Structure 1
Amino acid sequence: MSANNQGDQEIPFTTDQPTTQATETSQRVEEIDVAQADESDSWETDDEGDFYDEHAHDDLSDHEDDEHYVDLGLSKHLIECYPTTTAEEVSVVGALCDICLNEYKSDDKLRTIPCLHRFHSKCIDKWLKKNSKCPMCRSDLRKSEWYSD
């Protein structure tokens, strides 16, 4: 054992341990295939469209005196005006819905919003009832730029 002087203190260090110990330990760690580690599909849900909504717990009474406060969601009528198709028709089978993170299946109904982003219709309908902006690009779907006169 040797010592190292640092100021008034003597710091002991040892040279009897092999420097390759950490390397040997890290080489014994096997790579884990995440897909095989959890085959339970725990990320999938039967209830497409569940998402965190930061406004879910807002007290609307806080906004009564705010002249700039606008209802965040879109009307059911407006949401239903956006076109729908199936994942197979637009060749996106296997791609992920950016709201629920589930893969599109061939017969899944998708809705395309004016900014041309596409989601499961259940997911985006639920989102747009509480939010007027695209969950991807944050385009405000209430803006007149999306509608022709």
Structure 2
Amino acid sequence: MSANNQGDQEIPFTTDQPTNQATETSQRIEEIDVAQADESDSWETDDEGDFYDEHAHDDLSDHEDDEHYVDLGLSKHLIECYPTTTAEEVSVVGALCDICLNEYKSDDKLRTIPCLHRFHSKCIDKWLKKNSKCPMCRSDLRKSEWYSD
């Protein structure tokens, strides 16, 4: 340990600075992350080489109350299973789409989701790719009750 002179006082100089402790902690966390990735047979890498757990999305409903939960939306295939019609066919010409707030025109294509809310097809398709809940009533469209006979 060396000392720095400042006037008549000697100030001790140590190598255990907080930045060194933070660096050591960060390195230790990385070592733990790598060790956990190596121990798990479900870890895969994506195209960029980043690790992900192939079972991470198996049961998303378990994480709904988690503050870090990210809704991944619905698959394109499932979204396209919801019926479409025109605004004129369902007599809603002039009503507003609750997503884009534009009026429905007679030839606008609308999609009806299981909770029976209707939106412009393009609006709700884009919404459902990122969110699995109805933008109006917040019904979770992943729940099995929407698909039962």
TM-score (norm 1): 0.54
127-136 or 13-22: bigger deviation? 13-22
Q: Provide the aligned C-alpha RMSD in A.
A: 16.4
Q: Which runs of 5+ in 1 are unaligned?
A: none
What aligned pairs does 1:1-149 form with structure 2 within 5 A after superposition? 69=69, 71-148=71-148
SS in structure 2 at match of 1:4: strand
Q: Which runs of 5+ in 2 are unaligned?
A: none
When residues 40 and 22 of structure 1 are mapped into structure 2, their CA distance, relative to the original with a 3 A threshold, is closer
By relative contact order (CA 8 Å, sep 6+), the higher-ranking structure is 1
**1:72 Cα deviation from its structure 2 partner:** 2.4
When residues 32 and 26 of structure 1 are mapped into structure 2, their CA distance, relative to the original with a 3 A threshold, is closer
2:44–2:52 Cα contact (<8 Å) kept: no
SS in structure 1 at match of 2:31: coil
Count of aligned pairs: 149
For residues 24 and 66 of structure 1, the distance between their equivalents in structure 2, rounded to whole angstroms, comes to 29
- Which of structure 1's runs of 4+ aligned residues deviate more than 4 A? 1-71
2:95–2:103 Cα contact (<8 Å) kept: yes
2:97–2:119 Cα contact (<8 Å) kept: yes
SS in structure 2 at match of 1:129: helix
**1:148 Cα deviation from its structure 2 partner:** 1.5
For residues 40 and 11 of structure 1, the distance between their equivalents in structure 2, rounded to whole angstroms, comes to 49
User: Whose helix proportion is higher, 1 or 2?
Assistant: 2
2:114–2:146 Cα contact (<8 Å) kept: yes
SS in structure 2 at match of 1:10: strand
When residues 73 and 133 of structure 1 are mapped into structure 2, their CA distance, relative to the original with a 3 A threshold, is same
27-36 or 124-133: bigger deviation? 27-36
Instruction: Map Cα deviations across residues 18-65 of structure 1 (whole Å, 9 max, x no partner).
Output: 999999999999999999999999999999999999999999999999
**1:137 Cα deviation from its structure 2 partner:** 0.1
2:96–2:103 Cα contact (<8 Å) kept: yes
When residues 122 and 65 of structure 1 are mapped into structure 2, their CA distance, relative to the original with a 3 A threshold, is closer
When residues 61 and 120 of structure 1 are mapped into structure 2, their CA distance, relative to the original with a 3 A threshold, is closer
1:111–1:119 Cα contact (<8 Å) kept: yes
115-124 or 19-28: bigger deviation? 19-28
79-88 or 28-37: bigger deviation? 28-37
**1:11 Cα deviation from its structure 2 partner:** 63
**1:90 Cα deviation from its structure 2 partner:** 0.1
